[in-house]
Amino acid sequence: MEAGERAELRRLMQQLRDGDRTAFGPVFAMLWPRLRAFAVRFAGADGEDAAQTALLKVFSRASEFDGARDAFAWALGITAWECRTLRKRRQRRREQSGVPDRPGNDPERAHLLRASAEAVMGMLSPTDAETILSLATGRRAAQGATYRKRLQRALARFRLLWRTDE
């Protein structure tokens, strides 16, 4: 999704958040094909169901949308979570699926995890995201106990968002 489209989606999501129902159609038109393709790729035949559930959650939670964050990353995170939930449900029921049970060398699963992590990073505050990225790059903004505490809190918020179903 291009930067201009992301900005337009953010603007439309803010309108939905504020109660403007005329934004529903354009948001649906922008999100549905992308979320459906993402979910079908990673959840197989049931991906469309996961995408529908995710889109319902996006619209039902529109009032919770934070306009300072990327709307597409937010919607993609919800979709990734739905795919993950669907996968766990299949495992509990011992159903066979097109998605492998173990990560191993599966590039699709690695892509799903990367996309999920990026979506969660998009939901974090800029300070938390920068702190976590500094760990990966080795460039620390702060030193010693300050950095360790900031990192601990940022990772705790990341884990909470990663696990949150709603």
Instruction: Tell me what percent of the residues of the chain surpass a pLDDT of 70.
Output: 89
Number of domains, the chain: 2
Q: Tell me: do 22 and 91 sit in the same domain.
A: yes
Confidence of residue 96 (pLDDT cuts 50, 70, 90): low
Mean of per-residue pLDDT scores for the chain: 82
Based on its alpha-carbon atoms, the radius of gyration of the chain, rounded to whole angstroms, reads 17
Q: Tell me: do 112 and 146 sit in the same domain.
A: no
Looking at 2-16, 44-58, 69-83, 139-153, which range is the least confident one? 139-153
CB-based burial of residue 149 (10 Å sphere; 0-12 exposed, 13-18 middle, 19+ buried)? exposed
Q: How far is CA 31 from CA 37, 49, 103, 128, in A?
A: 10, 15, 28, 27
- pTM equals 0.55
CA 106 to chain centre: 20
- 158 and 53 in contact (C-beta within 8 Å)? no
Q: What tokens were used for 11?
A: 């603007």
Q: Tell me: do 19 and 100 sit in the same domain.
A: yes
**pLDDT tens digits, one per residue of 126-136:** 888 888 888 77
**pLDDT tens digits, one per residue of 10-69:** 999 999 888 888 988 999 999 999 999 888 887 877 788 889 999 999 999 888 888 888
Helix then strand then coil, in percent of the chain rounded to 5, is 80, 0, 20
Which pLDDT score is estimated for 26?
93
Q: Tell me: do 105 and 128 sit in the same domain.
A: no
For residues 83-98, give the mean pLDDT.
73
Q: Which domain holds residue 152?
A: 124-166
Q: For the domain that residue 34 is a member of, what is the CATH number?
A: 1.10.1740.10
